[in-house]
Copies of this chain bind each other. A is one copy, B any other.
């Protein structure tokens, strides 16, 4: 009995290690050129295993990236909550800057934030969606509690703010990284100057105005 339990633990541990190796490979590939182009075959090649073997650990490429999105939420919340706790300036501008800075510092998370509702949540099992949503809701609660403490936001208001911050970070990041050729086009045609997007400054301005508008009522 003791031996069986030990073996089961060892095998669960080995499975988890293998999963982590796969997630790390997907992270490296995604960071290189954006996650849109990364295929399951490439991830398997990066890990050095057959695609069929990889499919024993993950259902689809989307499940791999949805797991990375969940990790991204945990890391984002894990950085932003203490940053907000230490915040001495509770003006909308200061809080907005803390939120925007924490997102801009995580480009692959921004990429994943835009991909999740469009692509990642749509090609995985319901159990994977549930697991992912529970992680995000936990982080929304933790970040939201700080927003209420700093700016007196209601529960609905804080959920609106976090949805805006994450949706805008995702959308602006996609607009800001259209690929080298399109970026060259934007810079060469003076009529297209407005198409060049700077994620950090715009996200900070939008969140500053949003928090200002919410906390003034």
Contact = CB atoms under 8 A, between A and B. Distances in A.
A45 interface: no
Given A129-B185, A191-B134, A210-B210, A164 B159 contact: no
Contacts of A106: none
Contacts of A212: 212-213, 216-217
A192 to B, nearest CB: 5
A182 to B, nearest CB: 5
B122 A178 contact: yes
A205 interface: yes
A149 interface: no
Contact of A167 (B133, B168, B205, B216): B168
Given A191-B134, A208-B213, A217-B212, A36 B174 contact: no
Interface residues of A, number: 53
A32 interface: no
Q: Is the interface of A mostly helix, strand, loop or mixed?
A: helix
Nearest to A209: B213
A22 interface: no
Contacts of A36: 118-119, 122
A171 interface: yes
Interface string A148-175: 0000000011011001100110111011
Contact of A171 (B157, B171, B211): B171
A179 B118 contact: no
A172 B170 CA distance: 12
Interface centre among A159, A182, A210 (most CB of B within 10 A): A210
A211 to B, nearest CB: 7
A30 interface: no
9 contacts: A92-B213, A129-B178, A130-B189, A134-B191, A156-B205, A159-B194, A167-B167, A206-B210, A213-B213
